[in-house]
């Protein structure tokens, strides 16, 4: 659900920041009152946990990607405002350090995955639990339902932001400049994948983690009642809320958006983008998995969403049962604690009996995603060595660098000219070399990230069906158009420049200096302390997760059945959270014993000097050229 910089127009990004600014301010004020010092590590662990959860994503064709968020869980544990802050920090770290999601689109991403997910999820949870918070089972099911709805709502919001881009930003020929897919593609792509995959995953994670935390860390949860499986009826009643709440709203919206898009848009904006007109009937069959995609009637579309929601709920219900239904353990005679019983059991002397091998599911995908992430984290650590070398960008004063890089990112975002973007890309390469960044690694990293985010959107754009224009070549009915190739190349180039800038910024700036620059730009201390803790826990969490996967591999003789895989995903995330928490408590004590209460007040930044002014002027010049050449002025 992370929207990269190149997919939103600067206007949308600016509006998102304007909307988020007061929300963030309230969040900081609320949390500085309510967060005791012991809760700060909890919040940071929660944010790091969300990071780990979000790294398991699948691409949503026509949208961005689908993954669980961890938002409702965090909101239940630390309260909605603190959760909003934690997720915003985690998204900021992802954007600044890993190039996941954009820096300028941070406001939009925080709105979707922070504000919408947290407040819809938490609000619904409070609504469902009501005053009867004493019932353990009820509140856990309510949390699962709320997490599901919260995630789907966030994906709807993201789909909305992406889907309005073709209408508000395009060139004279009607070619999209940012996200090329209209509402009819972006919303189903996001919402349905989240209804079927990410929503259930979110619910499973939330339910599993809460049920487990109640047993292992009862002090964390105000309601001490032990969870036990109620009747199936109660479960069904809780889940029925999903069916009532989500799809009914979407039926109403579904048809309304559909109409809006072609006729209303034309009326409101003055014209309908050619791309959307062409794309609407043809792109749908490209998405055969999305149930009722081919149908145009509002009712059938609504029915499609309803069926998706139903399947999603069934998955959640099935899992909740397997998780909460624990066989009762019969009491056994106990040996005295710690005394070994002595003799080896008979079966241990004999070889294992032969048995059949169960079929395999899931496994490798999880491991691959994890290895990718571990590499990213490792390269992020490695980047500190580059940041400490002497070099061009390393010598720029941190605050000037932060301002300069933000201006440069803006100039990439507003640019509509190939030439300007190519020049910017060259400038990025030259300054990387001057900053002694290993160029081959840098180019490879930028290329890989661009491909991961970009190809899924850019390749369809090249086709005639999405972008009309004169044909370049045509094979098997697939036609590539001139305008399409132009749009696709522009989107990819802008994406690469944005990611390149973010990575270069990260590579040449140690974390401490980055934090200091934000401090001098007025970001409150509490936010930066929490961000620093989150940054530390991030490595711990990813390493813990990698350890868990390795430990399981070592003992996994057979494959996982589907049921076992679900159970593993659920309890695994719960155990991961608890383990990180246990570790964070120790870490926090260790920090306290070295008298840590907020991030160290570092020596004041040096005054601005010549190199800083040159850097800032260059950035401003880039913005002016990019803005001027792109025809905004005329």
Measure the CA angle with vertex 630, ends 629 and 634; round to 5°.
Answer: 85
| Residue 216 to residue 210: CA distance in whole angstroms | 10
Taking alpha carbons only, the member of 540, 591, 546, 549 closest to residue 568 is 549
Whole-number minimum distance, CB 100 to another protein, in Å? 20
136 binds another protein (CB under 8 A): no
| Residue 103 to residue 100: CA distance in whole angstroms | 9
* Residues 72 and 146 sit within 8 Å (Cβ to Cβ): yes
Whole-number minimum distance, CB 549 to another protein, in Å? 8
Give the phi and the psi of residue 58 in degrees, each rounded to 5. -120, 150
Whole-number minimum distance, CB 148 to another protein, in Å? 22
Which is closer to another protein, CB of 195 or CB of 560?
Answer: 560
Q: Residue 558 region, left (φ>0) first, then alpha (ψ -120 to 50), else beta?
A: beta
Q: Looking at 34, 263, 295, 335, which residue binds another protein (CB under 8 A)? A: 335
What mask of x and - would describe binding to another protein in positions 205 to 224, judged by CB under 8 A?
A: -------x--xx--------
Taking alpha carbons only, the member of 365, 409, 378 closest to residue 101 is 409
Contact positions with another protein (CB under 8 A) in 340-359: 340-345, 347-352, 355-359
Q: Point out which span in 184-192, 197-205, 540-548, 591-599 binds another protein (CB under 8 A).
A: 540-548
Q: Looking at 325, 555, 594, 606, which residue binds another protein (CB under 8 A)? A: 555
Whole-number minimum distance, CB 210 to another protein, in Å? 13
Q: Looking at 328, 554, 593, 595, which residue binds another protein (CB under 8 A)? A: 554
Whole-number minimum distance, CB 356 to another protein, in Å? 6
* Residues 200 and 316 sit within 8 Å (Cβ to Cβ): yes
Which is closer to another protein, CB of 33 or CB of 555?
Answer: 555
DSSP output for 168-222? HSB-TT--BSS----HHHHHHHHHHHIIIIIHHHHHHHHHHHHHHHHHH-GGGSS
Whole-number minimum distance, CB 569 to another protein, in Å? 12
Whole-number minimum distance, CB 507 to another protein, in Å? 15
| Residue 132 to residue 113: CA distance in whole angstroms | 28
Which residue in this structure is represented by tokens 């004279």?
Answer: 172
Which is closer to another protein, CB of 339 or CB of 634?
Answer: 339
559 binds another protein (CB under 8 A): yes
558 binds another protein (CB under 8 A): yes
| Residue 161 to residue 485: CA distance in whole angstroms | 24
Whole-number minimum distance, CB 556 to another protein, in Å? 6
* Residues 158 and 1 sit within 8 Å (Cβ to Cβ): yes
Which is closer to another protein, CB of 474 or CB of 553?
Answer: 553
Q: Considering CB under 8 A, how many residues would be counted as binding another protein? A: 53
Distances (CA, A) of 357 to 362, 579, 606: 16, 31, 66
Mapping DSSP onto H, E and C, the string for 86-103 reads: HHHHHHHHHHHHHCCCCC
DSSP output for 272-285? --HHHHHHHHHHGG
Q: Point out which span in 185-193, 311-319, 449-457, 574-582 binds another protein (CB under 8 A).
A: 574-582
Q: Point out which span in 69-77, 154-162, 338-346, 429-437 binds another protein (CB under 8 A).
A: 338-346
328 binds another protein (CB under 8 A): no
Which is closer to another protein, CB of 496 or CB of 574?
Answer: 574
Structure tokens at 263: 């006729």
Whole-number minimum distance, CB 379 to another protein, in Å? 9
329 binds another protein (CB under 8 A): yes
* Residues 600 and 394 sit within 8 Å (Cβ to Cβ): no
8-state DSSP, 85: H
Contact positions with another protein (CB under 8 A) in 138-157: none
DSSP output for 606-631? PPP-HHHHHHHHHHHHHHHHHHHHTT
Whole-number minimum distance, CB 576 to another protein, in Å? 8
Q: Point out which span in 89-97, 267-275, 314-322, 544-552 binds another protein (CB under 8 A).
A: 544-552
Which is closer to another protein, CB of 270 or CB of 364?
Answer: 364
548 binds another protein (CB under 8 A): yes
416-454 burial: b if 16+ Cβ within 10 Å, else e: beeebbebbbebbbebbeebbbeeeebeebbeebbebbb
Whole-number minimum distance, CB 580 to another protein, in Å? 10
| Residue 253 to residue 208: CA distance in whole angstroms | 32
DSSP output for 120-156? HHHHHHHHHHTT-TT-HHHHHHHHHHHHHHHHHHHHH
**Which residues sit opposite 479 in a β-bridge?**
474
Which is closer to another protein, CB of 53 or CB of 164?
Answer: 53
DSSP output for 488-542? HHHHHHHHHHHHHHHHHHHHTS-HHHHHHHHHHTT--HHHHHHHHHHHHHHHHHH
575 binds another protein (CB under 8 A): yes
Q: Point out which span in 153-161, 255-263, 578-586, 600-608 binds another protein (CB under 8 A).
A: 578-586
Contact positions with another protein (CB under 8 A) in 579-598: 579, 582
Taking alpha carbons only, the member of 24, 36, 8 closest to residue 105 is 8
What mask of x and - would describe binding to another protein in positions 360 to 399, judged by CB under 8 A?
A: x---x----------x--x---x-----------------
440 binds another protein (CB under 8 A): no
Contact positions with another protein (CB under 8 A) in 455-484: none
Which is closer to another protein, CB of 259 or CB of 547?
Answer: 547
Which is closer to another protein, CB of 425 or CB of 437?
Answer: 437
Q: Looking at 282, 551, 617, 621, which residue binds another protein (CB under 8 A)? A: 551
Q: Which residues bind another protein (CB under 8 A)?
A: 212, 215-216, 329, 332, 334-345, 347-352, 355-360, 364, 375, 378, 382, 544, 547-548, 550-559, 571-572, 574-575, 578-579, 582
């Amino acid at each position: 659900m992370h929207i990269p910089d190149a997919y939103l127009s600067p206007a949308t990004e600016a509006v998102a920041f304007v909307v988020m600014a007061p929300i963030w301010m309230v969040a900081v004020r609320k949390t500085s009152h309510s967060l005791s010092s012991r809760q700060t590590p909890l919040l940071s662990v929660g944010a790091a946990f969300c990071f780990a959860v979000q790294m398991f994503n699948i691409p949503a064709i026509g949208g961005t990607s689908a993954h669980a968020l961890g938002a409702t869980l965090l909101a239940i544990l630390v309260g909605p405002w603190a959760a909003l802050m934690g997720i915003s920090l985690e998204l900021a770290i992802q954007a600044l350090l890993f190039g996941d999601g954009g820096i300028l689109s941070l406001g939009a991403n925080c709105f979707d995955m922070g504000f919408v997910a947290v407040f819809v999820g938490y609000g619904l949870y409070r609504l469902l639990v009501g005053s009867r918070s004493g019932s353990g089972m009820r509140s856990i099911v309510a949390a699962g339902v709320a997490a599901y709805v919260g995630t789907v709502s966030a994906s709807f919001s993201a789909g909305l932001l992406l889907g309005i881009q073709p209408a508000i930003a395009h060139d004279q020929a009607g070619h999209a400049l940012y996200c090329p897919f209209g509402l009819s593609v972006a919303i189903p792509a996001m919402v349905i994948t989240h209804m079927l995959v990410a929503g259930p995953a979110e619910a499973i994670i939330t339910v599993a983690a809460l049920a487990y935390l109640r047993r292992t860390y009862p002090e964390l949860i105000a309601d001490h009642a032990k969870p036990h499986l109620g009747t199936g009826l109660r479960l069904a009643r809780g889940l029925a809320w999903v069916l009532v709440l989500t799809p009914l709203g979407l039926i109403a919206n579904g048809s309304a958006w559909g109409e809006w898009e072609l006729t209303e848009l034309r009326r409101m904006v003055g014209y309908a983008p050619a791309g959307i007109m062409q794309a609407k009937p043809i792109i749908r069959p490209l998405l055969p998995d999305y149930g009722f995609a081919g149908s145009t009637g509002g009712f059938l579309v609504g029915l499609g969403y309803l069926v998706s929601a139903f399947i999603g709920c069934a998955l959640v219900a099935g899992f909740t049962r397997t998780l909460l239904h624990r066989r009762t353990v019969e009491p056994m005679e106990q040996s005295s604690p710690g005394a070994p019983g002595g003799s080896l059991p008979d079966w241990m002397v004999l070889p294992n009996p032969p048995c059949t091998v169960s079929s395999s599911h899931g496994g490798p995908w999880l491991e691959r995603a994890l290895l990718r992430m571990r590499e990213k984290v490792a390269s992020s650590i490695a980047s500190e060595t580059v940041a400490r070398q002497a070099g061009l960008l390393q010598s720029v004063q941190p605050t000037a660098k932060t301002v300069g890089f933000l201006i440069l990112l803006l100039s990439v975002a507003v640019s509509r000219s190939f030439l300007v973007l190519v020049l910017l890309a060259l400038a990025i390469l030259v300054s990387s070399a001057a900053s002694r960044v290993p160029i081959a690694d840098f180019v490879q990293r930028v290329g890989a990230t661009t491909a991961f985010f970009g190809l899924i959107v850019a390749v369809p754009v090249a086709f005639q069906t999405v972008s009309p224009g004169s044909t370049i070549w045509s094979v098997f009915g697939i036609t590539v158009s001139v305008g399409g190739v132009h749009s696709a190349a522009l989107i990819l180039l802008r994406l690469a420049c944005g990611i390149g800038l973010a990575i270069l910024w990260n590579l040449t700036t140690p974390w401490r200096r980055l934090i200091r620059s934000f401090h001098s730009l007025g970001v409150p201390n509490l936010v930066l302390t929490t961000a620093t803790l989150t940054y530390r826990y991030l490595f711990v969490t990813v390493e813990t997760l990698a350890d868990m996967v390795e430990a399981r591999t070592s003992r996994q003789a057979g494959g996982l059945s589907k049921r076992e895989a679900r159970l593993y995903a659920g309890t695994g995330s719960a155990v991961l959270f608890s383990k990180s928490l246990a570790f964070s408590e120790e870490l926090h004590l260790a920090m306290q014993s070295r008298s840590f209460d907020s991030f160290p007040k570092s020596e004041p930044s040096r005054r601005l000097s010549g190199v800083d002014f040159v850097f800032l002027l260059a950035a401003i010049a880039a913005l002016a050229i990019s803005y001027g050449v792109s025809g905004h002025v005329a």
